[in-house]
Amino acid sequence: ELTLYLRIEEESGRSWLAIVSVTKDGSVYGDREAVRGLLREVASLQWSLGADIWEFRRDDQPRYELLWGEIRTELEKYANPNVYTGSIEVDLETFLQNTRQPLTAFRDGQPVPIEFLELNRFHFSRKETYTWRLQVDTVAGFAILPEKTGEMAIADKLKAGDDLSLFGSLGEIQLNTVHIRIKDPNGLFEPQIAISHHNQNPADFGFQVISREGYKTRLKIDTTDTSTRHILDMYRDQDRFEIIHVPGFKTNNRLVSAKQKDPLLNVIASEEREDWFYTDFLPEFTDYQDEVPHLIWGNIYAMPSGDVYSLEDYRASLAKEPRMTLGDRELEFRRCLVVVVPEGEKARVLDLSADDLRRADQLSALQEVGPRTSVLLTSILIADPADPARTLHYPGEFLFHIGHSEADAPYRITIEEVEPTGAEPGRESLETQELFTQYPLTELIAHLNMRASNRVEYHGLSADPLLRVRFEGGGISPDRVQELILLALQQRYHFTCEFTRLPRDHWVVQVDNIKKLREAEYKNEDPPEEKVQVFEHDGYHILSDFTIADLARFLEERYEVIFDTRPYYMHGESFIFGLNFASFEEVKLQLKEEYGIGITDSNWLWDGMIVRFSD
């Protein structure tokens, strides 16, 4: 959230002041009318004087980098005022060797003081999280992992294919995240390109600023609209801005910038050609706020992100005409850019008409696309459903991926719909097989995402078939097996999973007294090997190696209600608890009095998941 303080002072000393907050989604809070009045005053003075009252010119951006042993990562500016990010891929052995070394930060080659740093390992389902806080030597100016969480402690929690993130404060900048990817030499294709869900906010804005490096900033606006005249007046300098008149223009996105793209797609922005900017001159299609858009191209579905498809599925789908649907409406493609991004290679951009898309199987540029490739459809033009003679810009994108040839797949997944037998859902794990039996589709989706059923909402579900699912294949990690089964279900039943925060009454677990927690931790010279040791179901339990998040999940499974954790800075540290489960009130009292942990009811948002099915 950004807070703006705007002031203009008259010669008499009278000041005009407005304070306004702008959120990430563009919502504005505060003295909106005062801000509009102020902007009108500034624009009027600037126009009458024929000169800028105040102009900001960005200085050359400093170059920041991190050095962890021999691992070097360059940082990129992510957000104002000084928020940076970065990414790197490294093999497991190299990463573990360098975790013994100090981590240092530099600005234009000069050391930068480190205030704090945390390293996190995330499971793909967001259930398992480990956090290691680095010790900062303020004199020497570096950070290092404590000895007790050195190479061996981290090695126990890591494997090839894992993702880590590093965040913290370095001098005057904040690290939003540095993404560290552990290479998996035997891994399957895991796309590194993603797009966000479509912006489904109402189209309430009458202007759009389009910013591209190397080109004039464009203002897309209805120049006859008096409600946006103050914006128009601010962009009248023809040497710096280009005004594009679009009658009746409305949008839900006031700023279009290459920086909004995924970092891995920046190669596209760096080579933009002016003939790709055709959407700048067209009105937007805005009648999609209440429906989920779908791309259907043969066997390929994207809503707006798609799954990883086999090379055979992709090539067979090229013979079909791509379709775009919104609920029961079908939209007519007119034109789009198809961006082909092979893994580790330069992106290629194809400017395709509706006729090109209808004969995609005859286009060598699409036929020659190989495995391990992402395909993005962007800058989409459609026929106006209300007036097919008009062409509109559809402001969303669609993305899908091509993994491998079916002949090269090291696994096989079989999905069968079965009749009920009265048995409970079951799972059987063998060395080269994973078998799920008598599972309703909804329960299996929750299970594979490691989400309790009460944390999942299903939208558009018309049937909940009972399934038998078999996975056959060796040498693939259990986490990846679950991912692959989930992808197979998504391809068959056409749904997306969106991790989000949802409103519902629930309990919050929060550390109120860390000192008491550490002092009261169960201290047995020889703690039990089992993570959970139960003496009586409604009696004494020992919970070993439990983070606060583990404790919340255990309570949620026990009492079948939602428990969340309130963030605190030692959220990755593990403890041992000895608790009497005679009643929920007894557990609450023990946690408060013995461990300094409070459990309170809340109506705040909680971590959940929305599963959206296509029609």
- Cα separation, 65 vs 109, whole angstroms: 8
At 488, give phi and psi (nearest 5°): -65, -40
CA atoms within 13 A on the CB side of 48: 6
For the entire predicted model, the pTM comes to 0.61
Burial class (CB in 10 A: 0-12, 13-18, 19+), 152: exposed
Find all residues with CB under 8 Å of 299, minimum gap 6, and list them. Answer: 309, 313, 316, 317, 491
User: Could you give the count of Cα atoms lying within 13 Å of 27 in the half-sphere of its Cβ?
Assistant: 6
Q: Quick one: how far is CA 269 from the chain centroid?
A: 20
Distance CA 146, CA 134 (A): 7
Cis peptide before 81 (omega within 30 of 0): yes
Residues found in the chain: 615
* Domains parsed from the chain with CATH numbers: 2-49 (no CATH), 64-182 (2.60.40), 250-406 (no CATH), 410-493 (no CATH), 506-608 (no CATH)
Q: How far is CA 581 from CA 424, 508, 523, 558, 578, in A?
A: 26, 18, 19, 10, 10
Which residue's entry shows tokens 């370095």?
170
Q: Pull the structure tokens for residue 63.
A: 């170059």
Nearest Cα residue to 297 out of 402, 404, 386: 402
Give the integer Cα–Cα distance in Å for 418 and 409.
26
Q: With contact defined as beta carbons under 8 Å apart, do 67 and 106 qualify?
A: yes
CA atoms within 13 A on the CB side of 239: 2
Closest CA relative to residue 87, chosen from 22, 190, 182: 182
Angle at 139 between CA 133 and CA 144, to 5 degrees: 25
Predicted local confidence at residue 18, as pLDDT: 53
* Contacts of residue 567, Cβ cutoff 8 Å, sequence gap at least 6: none
The CA-atom distances, in angstroms, between 94 and each of 159, 182, 188, 598 are: 13, 10, 21, 41
pLDDT, averaged per 10 consecutive residues of the chain (615 residues), comes to 56 52 53 54 57 50 89 83 84 86 90 84 51 69 70 67 81 83 71 75 90 85 94 90 95 75 46 81 88 87 83 92 88 94 85 93 92 92 95 93 80 93 91 92 93 86 95 81 88 84 81 83 53 78 86 87 71 80 93 92 79 80
Q: Are 318 and 367 contacting, i.e. CB atoms less than 8 angstroms apart?
A: yes
Task: Report which secondary-structure segment, H or E, holds 72.
Answer: strand 71-74
Cα angle 183, 309, 430 (rounded to 5 degrees) comes to 65
Q: What is the reported pLDDT for 529?
A: 61
Whole-angstrom distance, CA of residue 36 vs CA of residue 18 = 9
Are 103 and 66 within 8 A, CB to CB? yes
Q: In what order do the strands lie in the sheet with 532-534?
A: 532-534, 540-546, 575-580
- For the record, the structure tokens of 58 come out as 């960005």
CA distances from 64 to 53, 75, 85, 260 (A): 33, 5, 10, 21
Sheet of 28-30: strand order equals 2-9, 15-22, 28-30
pLDDT at 55: 45
pLDDT of residue 471: 95
- Count CB atoms within 10 A of the CB of residue 341: 25
* Cα 222 to Cα 321: distance, rounded to the nearest angstrom: 35
The CA-based angle 520-526-529, given to 5 degrees, is 100
529 residue type, one letter: E
pLDDT at 56: 41
Tell the burial category of 389 from Cβ atoms under 10 Å away from its Cβ (0-12, 13-18, 19+): exposed
Alpha-carbon distance of 479 to 160, in angstroms, equals: 11
Q: Are 337 and 351 in contact (CB under 8 A)?
A: yes
Closest CA to 196 of 61, 307, 57, 303: 303
Distance CA(434)–CA(488), nearest Å, equals 14
The angle that helices 478-493 and 441-448 make with each other, rounded to 10 degrees, is: 140
Q: In whole angstroms, how far apart are CA 204 and each of 201, 229, 288?
A: 8, 16, 13
Rounded CA separation 197/536 (Å)? 47
Q: Are 302 and 294 in contact (CB under 8 A)?
A: yes
Q: What is the pLDDT of residue 292?
A: 77
CA 116: distance to chain centroid? 24
* Amino acid (one-letter) located at 139: V
